[in-house]
Structure 1
Amino acid sequence: MPDTAQNDRPLLEVKGLKKYFPVRGALGTTVQEVKAVNDVTFTLKRGETFGMVGESGCGKSTLGRTILRLTEPTEGQAIYDGRDVFDMTDAQLKAARQDMQMVFQDPFSSLNPRKRIGAILEEPLVIHGIGTAQERTEKVLDILTRVGLQAEHYYRYPHEFSGGQRQRIGIARALMVDPRLIVCDEPVSALDVSIHSQIINLLKQLQAEFGLTYLFIAHDISIVRYISDRIGVMYLGQMVEQAATDDLFAAPKHTHTQALLSAVPVTQPGARKERVVLGGEIPSPLDPPSGCVFHTRCPMATELCKQKAPARREITEGHHVACHLY
């Protein structure tokens, strides 16, 4: 019989995750810290897509890379299927990487220009000792067709492909070791707008076909809305709001979320909506504001916001917000 408790358990639980980058002085001592990710907590359910959205520089990509331990955390936990990724030995982490893969933002720089596509895609199988040479080649040819490419592309080099085709290769590489979780780090931001829908629809198709779970990172909230079951909104290293996609768009609570949604273009002819315009500039993560990090740009800020950081509260089922107004 299946383990019901295990199936009900989130595939990924991120708890109090922090990632600070030291700033060195002339003598090599740490004089400051860049708080790229600061106390982020969320869960990722099996088979769902959790969208992570926010302005450039808010820490989204650092969050994704830290969860996979491509960069080491400062503090916190990332519990994947009951095991803390940050406590794994090198051998355990190597085995876990078969389950956790990443699609990178730039589909050109993430591919080795000196290798043919066949060798690039077979490399993960070689590293993990999966299959014979013939079996690896057969799997590459199968995955190429599943991502919309052709068998003849096996022998070509990355520079012979368009940006959209290279991103399909990046997706194919992530699929080679049969993962369960894929972190998609802005997978369409470096592509032409005309290609966005093709790649997003491909990701949705592959998710249904292979039962994948996605952490989808992007700055375009319209794309995040289309692909995500739940959305987390980040600002200056912190998650300020989290909710099911429909709930977030129907009733955004945090002022930052309201501003992001108000910037989405209206597609109905003649329709208008009120813009939420934020004042000021995004503060530096080197020296974040005291209290609520958003208070310097929030039109609703009070003295309490300047003095005390808001706690993360669940205001309705599954809808969390970090704001003193709630």
Structure 2
Amino acid sequence: MPPFIEKPAPLLAVRGLQKHFPVKSGFGWTKGYIRAVNSVSFDIQEGQTYGLVGESGCGKSTTGRTILKLLEPTGGEVLYQGRNIFSLKGAAMREVRRELQMVFQDPYSSMDPKKRIGYTLEEPLLIHGQGGARERTERALELLDKVGFSREHYDRFPHEFSGGQRQRLGLARALALNPKLIVCDEPVSALDVSIQSQVINLLQELQRELKLSYLFVAHDLSVVRHISDHVGVMYLGELVEQAPTEQLFSSPLHPYTKSLLSAVPVPNPRVKRERIILSGDVPSPLHPPSGCVFHTRCPYVLDRCRTERPLKLTVATGHEVQCHLYQ
């Protein structure tokens, strides 16, 4: 028998993460909850990228924001280097925040339009009390150089940059405190294809140079396949399948994953792919279906799918699926 090799502990471990938003009536009563994220669990290894994909509104961005406690979690835990982030407060949480940063989907709205770029890059250092004025300026100039800008951009305002340039500046700001993990919330979704490739290549170069880990939230499966080591597929707030990237793309198991992959264009006019078109609309997260959340649109639905919630099943190393077809 081959020797047993112990898997290294993950940099970040998400366990049973939940985020429910209360829905208020006209009198201020809570009449229900939108289950944006419901019992999501996955690991991110050091120096690797975990891609999170799914349709718009499935809970991908909410997952990323809740992990960083930008949104207060409803339940579950997030272990960063073995410490539960949700139990930390005050100085302990501030210390962890330096190592967990975020690149927002819209970098323009996340920057103060009245502040120059130099101040935007120095602000994280100022908040965490790192360095004097001269050291902060030198760090800002170093960050500009790292993401492909020159010193003359230091005194410009956000509106003087294009979308791709602002996205690179958002990445520079996230790097200011030397983080270990960055949550990238659809960082290339609003960019042209040529600009997308520049940002993706920059992310990969910085990952190799600085040994960064990423949670990469996106809906473009081609981009996710290019940058990710592991991929999780979300539907209506639940993680229905996750696997190493090539394994997921070559052997998808969940019907929803198969339908997503069937929509990816093939860059060869002679190759035809069978398109799986789902019927109906995505159910409301305020009133999710009973049993399997995907049963209302699944072409392979069973009777038990309508009443019984499927358990998570491990079918191969690192490949997990939540579907009755495999149980």
Query: Which interval holds the TM-score relative to the shorter structure?
Result: over 0.9
Instruction: Return the alpha-carbon distance in structure 2 between the equivalents of residues 7 and 297 of structure 1.
Output: 37
- Secondary structure of residue in 2 paired with 1:95: helix
Instruction: Return the alpha-carbon distance in structure 2 between the equivalents of residues 188 and 87 of structure 1.
Output: 33
Q: CA deviation at 1:26?
A: 1.9
Report the counterpart of residue 244 of structure 2 in structure 1. Answer: 244
Report the counterpart of residue 168 of structure 1 in structure 2. Answer: 168
Q: CA deviation at 1:270?
A: 1.2
Instruction: Return the alpha-carbon distance in structure 2 between the equivalents of residues 116 and 317 of structure 1.
Output: 48
Superposed CA deviations along residues 230-272 of structure 1, whole A, max 9, x for unmatched, are 0000000000000000000110000000001000001023111
Q: CA deviation at 1:193?
A: 2.6
- 1:131-210 to structure 2, matched below 5 A, reads 131-210=131-210
Report the counterpart of residue 98 of structure 1 in structure 2. Answer: 98
Instruction: Return the alpha-carbon distance in structure 2 between the equivalents of residues 315 and 64 of structure 1.
Output: 26
Tell me the amino acid that sits aligned with residue 246 of structure 1.
E
Report the counterpart of residue 292 of structure 1 in structure 2. Answer: 292
Instruction: Return the alpha-carbon distance in structure 2 between the equivalents of residues 7 and 292 of structure 1.
Output: 31
The runs of at least 4 consecutive aligned structure 1 residues that moved more than 6 Å come to: none
Report the counterpart of residue 267 of structure 1 in structure 2. Answer: 267
Instruction: Return the alpha-carbon distance in structure 2 between the equivalents of residues 26 and 132 of structure 1.
Output: 51
Unaligned segments of structure 1, at least 5 residues: 1-5
Instruction: Return the alpha-carbon distance in structure 2 between the equivalents of residues 272 and 26 of structure 1.
Output: 53
- Secondary structure of residue in 1 paired with 2:324: coil
- 1:194-233 to structure 2, matched below 5 A, reads 194-233=194-233
TM-score (norm 1): 0.97
Change (3 A) 1:320 1:7: closer
Report the counterpart of residue 66 of structure 2 in structure 1. Answer: 66
Report the counterpart of residue 20 of structure 2 in structure 1. Answer: 20
Tell me the amino acid that sits aligned with residue 135 of structure 1.
E
Report the counterpart of residue 51 of structure 2 in structure 1. Answer: 51
Change (3 A) 1:76 1:120: same
Superposed CA deviations along residues 154-192 of structure 1, whole A, max 9, x for unmatched, are 000001111111111000000000000000000011222
Instruction: Return the alpha-carbon distance in structure 1 between the equivalents of residues 129 and 17 of structure 2.
Output: 32
- Secondary structure of residue in 2 paired with 1:63: helix
- Secondary structure of residue in 2 paired with 1:112: coil
Report the counterpart of residue 128 of structure 2 in structure 1. Answer: 128
Change (3 A) 1:145 1:231: same
Report the counterpart of residue 3 of structure 2 in structure 1. Answer: none
Q: CA deviation at 1:7?
A: 9.5
Instruction: Return the alpha-carbon distance in structure 1 between the equivalents of residues 46 and 303 of structure 2.
Output: 41
Q: CA deviation at 1:149?
A: 1.1
Superposed CA deviations along residues 97-141 of structure 1, whole A, max 9, x for unmatched, are 110000000011011100000000000001111111111111111
Tell me the amino acid that sits aligned with residue 171 of structure 1.
L
Instruction: Return the alpha-carbon distance in structure 2 between the equivalents of residues 140 and 292 of structure 1.
Output: 49
Tell me the amino acid that sits aligned with residue 142 of structure 2.
D
Instruction: Return the alpha-carbon distance in structure 2 between the equivalents of residues 26 and 266 of structure 1.
Output: 50
TM-score (norm 2): 0.97
Tell me the amino acid that sits aligned with residue 222 of structure 1.
S
- Secondary structure of residue in 2 paired with 1:325: helix
Unaligned segments of structure 2, at least 5 residues: 1-5
Change (3 A) 1:33 1:191: same
Count of paired positions: 322
Instruction: Return the alpha-carbon distance in structure 2 between the equivalents of residues 235 and 8 of structure 1.
Output: 29
Which range is displaced more, 89-98 or 213-222?
89-98
- Secondary structure of residue in 2 paired with 1:8: coil
Report the counterpart of residue 35 of structure 1 in structure 2. Answer: 35
Tell me the amino acid that sits aligned with residue 312 of structure 2.
R
Structural RMSD (CA): 1.3
Q: Percent identity?
A: 59
